[in-house]
């Protein structure tokens, strides 16, 4: 027997959090009956599980990859304005490959994708506190007081951000390059953090997630994660949770 959300994640429908919404929205049926109980235990060998009327089965192979996302590519599976999507840069793997976290339209850098819902949950959920390193270019200089505020946490939408690691990497031609490490992933978080201290972001690039680094992967290209990288991400998230 297995909990319904875990099984749906194994069936390549998304992370455990996202498949829970499918259940609550009444899009999952068990043996012909719509089920909205997240505590439900199912027997995959006996029960017939369907998503919007279509039979679902567990995936046969896990895929883990990194993409060096360019600017002006949308992290989405569709767009009403016909903008370019990250999936335009990837081959058809014959499976529902979904992104882990996001990068906004004008940002670039490391993006992880997978068809393993359990893995995605351990990377994206705030409780795992997986660090993310960014290189950020801003217009003009930034004061020591502003850096201190970023390090201690900024109030965004009524909630304080977790302490960040921030330092100046370079200053040239009235442009300051920062290295910023955060331990959460709110929408456009770094842009809003810097805006709150009066700095305008010119460029933003994610360089690292956990111990996995973008390194010299060319812009717009992808590669499979090494088994050691997958293990490292899982180990880091597990260790961070224990330190809580």
Extract the tokens encoding 222.
Answer: 């992808």
Q: Does the pLDDT value for residue 57 go beyond 80?
A: no
The rounded percent of the chain whose pLDDT value lies above 70 is 96
Residue 65, judged by CB atoms within 10 A of its CB (0-12, 13-18, 19+), counts as middle
- How many other C-beta atoms lie within 10 A of the C-beta of residue 128? 21
Beta bridge mates, 66: 112, 223
Identify the band that residue 239 occupies on the pLDDT scale cut at 50, 70 and 90: low
Q: Distance (Å, rounded) from C-alpha 225 to C-alpha 241? A: 23
All domains of the chain in start order, with CATH: 2-55 (3.10.290.10), 64-126+212-242 (3.30.70.580), 131-209 (3.30.70.1560)
Determine phi and psi for 133, rounding to 5 degrees: -105, 135
Q: Which residue in 37, 80, 88, 104 is the catalytic one?
A: 104
Calculate the alpha carbon distances from 20 to 8, 93, 115, 183, 214 in Å. Answer: 9, 25, 16, 24, 31
Give the predicted TM-score (pTM) of the model: 0.77
Active site residue 47: no
Q: Is 1 helix (H, G, I), strand (E, B) or coil?
A: coil
Of 48, 38, 51, 34, nearest to 4 (Cα)? 38
Of 213, 88, 190, nearest to 142 (Cα)? 190
Answer for the pair 42, 4: CB distance below 8 angstroms, yes or no.
yes
Q: Which pLDDT belongs to residue 59?
A: 64
Answer for the pair 115, 95: CB distance below 8 angstroms, yes or no.
yes
Identify the band that residue 67 occupies on the pLDDT scale cut at 50, 70 and 90: very high
The string of pLDDT tens digits covering residues 148-172 is 999 999 999 999 999 999 999 999 9
Q: Does the pLDDT value for residue 240 go beyond 80?
A: no
């Amino acid at each position: 027997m297995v909990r319904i959300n875990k099984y749906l994640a194994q069936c390549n429908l998304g992370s455990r959090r996202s498949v829970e919404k499918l259940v609550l929205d009444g899009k999952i049926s068990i043996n012909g009956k719509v089920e909205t109980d997240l505590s439900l235990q199912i027997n995959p060998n006996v029960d017939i599980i369907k998503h919007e009327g279509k039979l679902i089965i567990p995936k046969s192979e896990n895929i883990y990859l990194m993409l060096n996302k360019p600017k002006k590519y949308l992290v989405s599976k569709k767009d009403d304005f016909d903008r370019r999507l990250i999936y335009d840069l990837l081959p058809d793997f014959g499976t529902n490959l979904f992104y882990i976290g996001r990068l906004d339209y004008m940002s670039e850098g490391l993006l992880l994708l997978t068809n393993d819902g359990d893995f995605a949950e351990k990377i994206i959920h705030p409780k795992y506190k997986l660090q993310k390193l960014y290189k950020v270019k801003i217009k003009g200089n930034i004061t020591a007081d502003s850096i201190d505020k970023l390090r201690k946490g900024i109030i965004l939408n009524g909630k304080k951000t977790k302490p960040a690691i921030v330092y100046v990497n370079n200053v040239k031609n009235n442009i300051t390059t920062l290295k910023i490490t955060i331990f959460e992933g709110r929408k456009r978080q770094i842009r809003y953090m810097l805006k709150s201290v009066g700095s305008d972001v010119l460029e933003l690039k994610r360089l690292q997630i956990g111990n996995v680094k973008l390194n010299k992967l060319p812009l717009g290209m992808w590669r499979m994660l090494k088994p050691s990288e997958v293990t490292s991400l899982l180990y880091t998230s597990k260790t961070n949770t224990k330190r809580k």
